[in-house]
Amino acid sequence: MTSDPRRPLRTIVATDCGSTTTKAILIERVGDEYRQTYRGEAPTTVEAPFEDVTRGVLNAIAEIEELSGRKILDGEKIITPSGASGDPKVGVDIYISTSSAGGGLQMMVAGVVQSMTAESAQRCALGAGAIVMDVLASNDGRLPHEKIERIRSLRPDMILLSGGTDGGTVTHVVEMAEYIAAAEPRPRLGMSYNLPLIYAGNKDARSRISEILGKKTALTITENLRPVLERENLGPARAKIHDLFLEHVMAQAPGYKKLISWAGAPIMPTPAAVGLIMETVAKKQGINLIGVDIGGATTDVFSVFHGIFNRTVSANLGMSYSISNVLAEATLDNIMRWVPFSIDEQDLRNRIKNKMIRPTTVPQTLDELQIEQAIAREALRLALIHHKSLATGLKGVQQVRSISDVFEQTASGKTLVDMLKLDLIVGSGGILSHAPRRVQSFLMMVDAYEPLGFTELAVDSIFMMPHLGVLSTVNEQAATDVFVRDCLIHLGTCVAPIGQGARGARCADYTITFPSGRELVKGTLAFGEVRLFPLAVGEEATVAMAPARSVDLGAGKGVPVERRARGGVVGVMLDGRERPLQLPTQTDERVRALKHWHAALNLYPE
Partner 1 sequence: MAHTYTPGLTVTPRTVVSKKRILPLSGTVLVEAGEAVTAATVVARAELPGKVHVVNLVNQLGILPEDLPDYMVTREGNRIQQGDVLAETKPFLKWFKTQVRSPITGTVETISTATGQVILREPPRPVELFAYLDGTVAEVLPGQGVQVETTCAFIQGIFGIGGETWGTLVMGVASPEEDVTAAHFTAAHAGKIVVGGAFVGAEALARARAVGVKGVVVGGMHDQDLRALLGYDLGVAITGTETVGFTLVLTEGFGRIPMARRTFELLRKLDGRKASISGATQIRAGVIRPEIIVPLAPDEQIQGIEAGQWGEARGGIKVGDPVRVIRAPFFGRIGQVVGLPSDLQMIPTESRVRVMEVQFTDGSRAVIPRANIEVIEG
434 touches partner 1 (CB under 8 A): yes
Question: What is the smallest separation between the CB atom of 22 and partner 1, expressed in angstroms?
Answer: 11
Cis ω for the linkage preceding 196 (within 30 of 0): no
Cis ω for the linkage preceding 363 (within 30 of 0): no
Q: How far is CA 547 from CA 506, 551, 578, in A?
A: 8, 6, 12
Compare residues 88 and 144 and give the one whose CB is closer to partner 1. 144
Question: What is the smallest separation between the CB atom of 583 and partner 1, expressed in angstroms?
Answer: 23
599 touches partner 1 (CB under 8 A): no
43 touches partner 1 (CB under 8 A): yes
- Among 53, 118, 181, 574, which residue interacts with partner 1 (rule: CB under 8 A)? 181
215 touches partner 1 (CB under 8 A): no
366 touches partner 1 (CB under 8 A): yes
Write out the H or E segment, with its range, that includes residue 147. helix 144-153
Question: What is the smallest separation between the CB atom of 341 and partner 1, expressed in angstroms?
Answer: 14
Residues 6+ apart with CB under 8 A from 171: none
Residues 103-162 that bind partner 1 (CB under 8 A): 103, 144-145, 148-149, 152
* Largest pairwise CA distance in the chain: 76
Rounded distance between C-alpha atoms, residue 202 and residue 190, angstroms: 31
Residues in the chain, overall count? 606
Residues 304-323 that bind partner 1 (CB under 8 A): 316, 320-322
6 touches partner 1 (CB under 8 A): no
DSSP, residue by residue, 56-104: HHHHHHHHHHHHH--B-EETTEE--STTTTS-TTB--SEEEEEE-GGG-
- Among 96, 189, 249, 356, which residue interacts with partner 1 (rule: CB under 8 A)? 356
Compare residues 175 and 418 and give the one whose CB is closer to partner 1. 175
Question: What is the smallest separation between the CB atom of 176 and partner 1, expressed in angstroms?
Answer: 9
Compare residues 317 and 474 and give the one whose CB is closer to partner 1. 317
203 touches partner 1 (CB under 8 A): no
Rounded distance between C-alpha atoms, residue 29 and residue 481, angstroms: 10
Compare residues 89 and 145 and give the one whose CB is closer to partner 1. 145
Amino acid sitting at position 65: E
Residues 476-535 that bind partner 1 (CB under 8 A): none
Rounded distance between C-alpha atoms, residue 96 and residue 101, angstroms: 15
Cβ atoms of 433 and 319 closer than 8 Å: no
Q: How far is CA 43 from CA 20, 59, 469, in A?
A: 6, 8, 22
352 touches partner 1 (CB under 8 A): yes
Residues binding partner 1 (CB under 8 A): 19-20, 41-43, 46-47, 49, 101-103, 144-145, 148-149, 152, 170-172, 174-175, 178-179, 181-184, 186, 191, 208, 212, 296-297, 316, 320-322, 324-325, 327-329, 346-347, 349-366, 368-369, 434, 436-437, 605
